[in-house]
Amino acid sequence: MSDQQQHPGERPVVNGLVALVAVALGVGLVLALVTLVGTKVLGLGGGDGDSSARSTVHQSMYLPTPVETDEATGPLVTLHTEDPDEPAGTDDSTELPEDEPTTEMPSESAGAGQISLQALATTVASGERIYFSGVYPGGEGAILFVQRFENGDWADFPASVGVTNGTFSSYIFTGVSGVNRFRVVDRDTGTVSNEISVTVG
């Protein structure tokens, strides 16, 4: 048998080996790519970003060690309730001493149904506005008319003011020089205020 008859028999073996090596390389490359993609998707790379994320998750799930606390010996909040069977006035815990100083301004010390009047300034120039204000407890919605003391009697002054939330305020003009005395009156009830004196000029 000649050498030319032996070559055709050897070539299929060589070709088979080459094909086998090519297939093995292809499969290995595919597996390497799959492994790389899987580690990126699942976060198994172990980089700095992953470690910081795991650290953040770990810190957010941290629970302090339980510590036994002292048992409370009494109520934390005490609410005062009156006993319906208890006579009124027997509980003196909330009563103020009779000599307790009051923080209420004298100009706002009007009782129910009384009108307290005050002027912003006691001296104004001729023709200048005279601002006044006051309180009228229980006089919600009432119209108060201004009066001036003239010739020994109180005369109506051409001004009025309404009461809102128990208070009132407005201003008037006058060209009469000297000391002017004013007051306001509720004509519906006949209630009058204290008088105020304003020097004009």
Query: What integer pLDDT is reported at residue 85 of this predicted model?
Result: 53
Assigned token pair, 40: 């990126």
Q: Say which residue the tokens 């970003």 belong to.
A: 49
Please name every residue paired with 156 in a beta bridge, in sequence order, or none if there are none: 147
89 assigned to some structural domain: no
Extract the tokens encoding 165. 């939330």
Indicate the SS3 state at residue 182: strand
Closest of 195, 194, 165, 193 to residue 181, by C-alpha? 195
Q: Is 67 a domain residue?
A: no
In a domain, 169, yes or no: yes
Report pTM. Answer: 0.46
Cα separation, 156 vs 166, in Å, equals 23
The whole-number pLDDT of residue 17 equals 81
192 and 111 in a common domain: yes
Whether residue 120 sits in one domain with residue 51: no
Tell me the residue range of the domain where 44 lies.
3-60
pLDDT along the chain (201 residues), means of 10: 52 78 85 80 57 48 63 51 48 40 41 85 93 94 96 94 95 93 95 95 89
What is residue 60's DSSP assignment? H
The string of DSSP codes covering 70-133 is: PPP-S-S-------TTSPTT---SSPPPTTPPP-S-GGG---TT-BEEEES-SEE-TT--EEEE
Do residues 52 and 129 share a domain?
Answer: no
β 143-150/153-162 pair status: antiparallel
At residue 4, the 3 state secondary structure works out as helix
Phi, psi of 139, deg, nearest 5: -105, 30
